[in-house]
C-alpha cells in the first residue's frame, strides 16, 4: 500500500460571530452570504493560490433549509467566484460539521484524489433555530426507547453530565465560564483573534454598518453575577446561560492542501494533520463524545494525552469541557487549554465552530515553538465526539 499524502492546514478565516435573533448583527444577512464572505476573505489573503487549483469545496450546515440549503458547498463556490469547474458539497454532522468538512477533504487529499480544498461551515441560528420546526424524528426513537425523548435538547444532556459526575459541580462550571470570558477579553485586547476575522457589511435599523468583532462577549462576567441566573433546562438545575454557549450566527472557511501542493504554490503550512477520529456515545450524555474520540485519535497517532501541548476544546457547555479534563486528569485552569477562551464567550454557530478551533490552534502554534502537538475536539449532538490532532511546523524541540 502506498504511503498516504501529507496533509496541511494552510490557513483559516471567519466572520465575526453575531448574536442570533432580531437584535443580532446578522439578522438581515443571509447565511450563504456569511460563508461566501469568509471564503472570499480567505482567498484574498492568498493570491498565490490560483482559484482553478481549488479542487473541492466542502461546507457544513446543521439546518440545511432556506439560505443554508441548495448543496451549500457548491452554491457557495459559485457565489465566491470560483471557476464553475470547482465542485462542492454540503455536510451535516451537527456541531462538528466544519471539522468533518476538514477531515473529509483531508481524506481525499491523503488518498491522492485532490491536492487543494476549501472546507468550512456556517450556521445562522437566528434564521434557523434548532427548534425542530423542520425536523421529523422517527417515532421509533422514543417508542423503542432508543433514545430519551429529551436527548435532542442539548441543555438537558449537559444537566445529565452534572448528574452522572457529581464532582462536576455548578461552582466549577461557573468558575470555568468566568475564566473563558476573561481569556477571550485578554486575547482581544492583545489583538490575537482579530487577524483572522473578515469584516462583514451589515444592515441595521440605524443603516449600514460593519461587523468587526464577536458580538456575544461578556467580559464583565463575575462569579457573583452568575449566582442568581436561571437554570432554563431544569428547575433548580446547574446549567445556566453563562455556562452554555449562546445561540450564534457565523461562518468559517479554511484551505486544506497536500504538503507538496502547498510547497509548489508557496502556500503556508500552519499545521500538519496527524490523526483524527469520531466516536459515538449515548445521546443523553452527548457532551462525553470527545473523550472516546480523543482516545481513538491518540491511539491512531501513537501518542498519549501527555504529548498534547495545546488544547482547543469547543465550549458547547462548561460541564462538557470539564468532563474531558477530568477524564484525562487535566486541571480546570490548565494553561494549555483554550488559551484565548472559547465558545462560552464568542459563541458556537454549530456547523462552523470546528474550523474556529483550528484557526486558533494554528495561531497558538506560532507563539509556542516548544509545543509539538495540539488537539482540536468537540462534542456533537445525538451522542458523538470529534477530535483532530495536529503537529506544529514551528516546533524546535526546545523547552522555552
- Looking at the chain, list the stretches that DSSP marks H as alpha helix, in order from N- to C-terminal side: 31-44, 72-79, 97-111, 140-143, 154-164, 170-189, 223-226, 259-265, 290-301, 318-327, 343-346, 353-367
Q: Which listed residue (327, 348, 368, 400) is catalytic?
A: 348
C-alpha cell at 322: 470539564
Q: b/e map of 36-47 (b: 16 or more CB within 10 Å)? A: bbbbbbbbebee
> Please, which contacts does 325-330 make with residues 24 or more away whose CB atoms are closer than 8 Å?
326/165, 326/167, 326/168, 327/291, 328/294, 329/305, 330/305
Whether 379 is catalytic is yes
Q: Specify the pairing of strand 207-211 against strand 200-204.
A: antiparallel
Q: Which listed residue (124, 128, 162, 379) is catalytic?
A: 379
What's the first-to-final CA gap in the chain, in angstroms?
Answer: 40
- Rg, the chain, Cα only: 20
Q: Which listed residue (95, 124, 128, 162) is catalytic?
A: 95
Phi-psi region of 275 (alpha: psi -120 to 50; beta: other; left: phi over 0): beta
Whether 348 is catalytic is yes
Backbone phi and psi for residue 274, each to the nearest 5 degrees, phi listed first = -100, -55
Reported residue count of the chain is 400
Task: Confirm if 153 and 237 have CB atoms less than 8 A apart.
Answer: no
Closest CA to 155 of 88, 75, 230, 43: 230
Burial grade of 164 (CB within 10 A; 0-12, 13-18, 19 or more): middle
Closest CA to 12 of 376, 305, 343: 376
Task: Confirm if 168 and 326 have CB atoms less than 8 A apart.
Answer: yes
C-alpha cell at 10: 494552510
Whether 95 is catalytic is yes
The residues assigned a catalytic role are: 95, 348, 379
Amino acid at each position: 500500500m502506498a504511503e498516504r499524502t501529507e496533509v496541511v492546514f494552510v490557513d483559516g478565516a471567519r466572520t465575526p460571530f453575531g448574536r442570533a435573533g432580531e437584535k443580532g448583527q446578522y439578522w438581515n444577512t443571509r447565511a450563504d452570504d456569511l460563508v461566501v464572505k469568509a471564503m472570499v476573505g480567505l482567498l484574498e489573503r492568498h493570491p498565490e493560490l490560483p482559484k482553478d487549483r481549488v479542487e473541492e469545496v466542502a461546507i457544513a450546515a446543521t439546518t440545511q433549509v432556506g439560505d443554508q440549503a441548495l448543496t451549500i458547498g457548491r452554491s457557495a463556490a459559485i457565489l465566491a467566484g470560483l471557476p464553475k469547474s470547482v465542485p462542492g458539497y454540503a455536510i451535516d454532522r451537527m456541531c462538528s460539521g466544519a471539522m468533518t468538512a476538514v477531515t473529509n477533504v483531508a481524506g481525499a487529499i491523503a488518498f491522492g484524489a485532490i491536492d487543494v480544498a476549501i472546507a468550512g461551515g456556517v450556521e445562522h441560528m437566528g434564521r434557523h433555530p434548532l427548534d425542530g420546526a423542520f425536523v421529523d424524528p422517527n417515532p421509533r426513537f422514543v417508542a423503542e426507547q432508543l433514545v430519551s425523548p429529551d436527548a435532542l435538547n442539548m441543555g438537558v444532556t449537559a444537566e445529565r453530565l452534572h448528574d452522572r459526575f457529581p464532582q462536576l459541580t455548578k461552582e466549577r462550571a461557573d468558575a470555568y465560564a468566568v475564566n473563558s470570558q476573561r481569556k477571550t477579553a485578554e486575547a482581544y485586547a492583545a489583538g490575537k483573534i482579530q487577524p483572522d476575522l473578515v469584516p462583514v457589511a451589515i444592515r441595521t435599523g440605524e443603516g449600514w454598518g460593519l461587523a468587526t468583532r464577536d458580538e456575544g462577549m461578556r467580559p464583565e462576567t463575575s462569579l457573583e453575577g452568575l449566582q442568581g441566573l436561571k437554570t432554563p433546562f431544569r428547575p433548580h438545575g446547574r446549567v445556566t446561560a453563562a455556562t452554555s454557549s449562546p445561540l450564534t450566527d457565523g461562518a468559517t472557511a479554511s484551505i486544506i492542501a497536500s504538503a507538496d501542493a502547498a510547497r509548489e504554490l508557496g502556500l503556508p503550512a500552519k499545521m500538519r494533520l496527524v490523526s483524527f477520529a469520531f466516536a459515538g456515545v449515548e445521546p443523553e450524555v452527548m457532551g462525553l463524545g470527545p473523550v472516546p474520540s480523543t482516545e481513538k485519535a491518540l491511539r491512531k497517532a501513537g501518542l498519549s494525552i501527555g504529548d498534547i501541548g495545546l488544547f482547543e476544546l469547543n465550549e458547547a457547555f462548561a460541564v462538557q469541557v470539564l468532563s474531558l479534563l477530568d477524564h484525562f486528569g487535566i486541571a480546570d485552569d490548565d494553561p494549555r487549554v483554550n488559551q484565548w477562551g472559547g465558545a462560552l464567550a464568542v459563541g458556537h454557530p454549530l456547523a462552523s465552530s470546528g474550523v474556529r478551533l483550528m484557526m486558533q490552534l494554528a495561531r497558538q502554534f506560532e507563539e509556542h515553538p516548544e509545543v509539538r502537538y495540539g488537539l482540536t475536539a468537540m462534542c456533537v449532538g445525538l451522542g458523538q465526539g470529534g477530535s483532530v490532532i495536529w503537529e506544529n511546523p514551528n516546533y524546535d524541540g526546545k523547552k522555552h
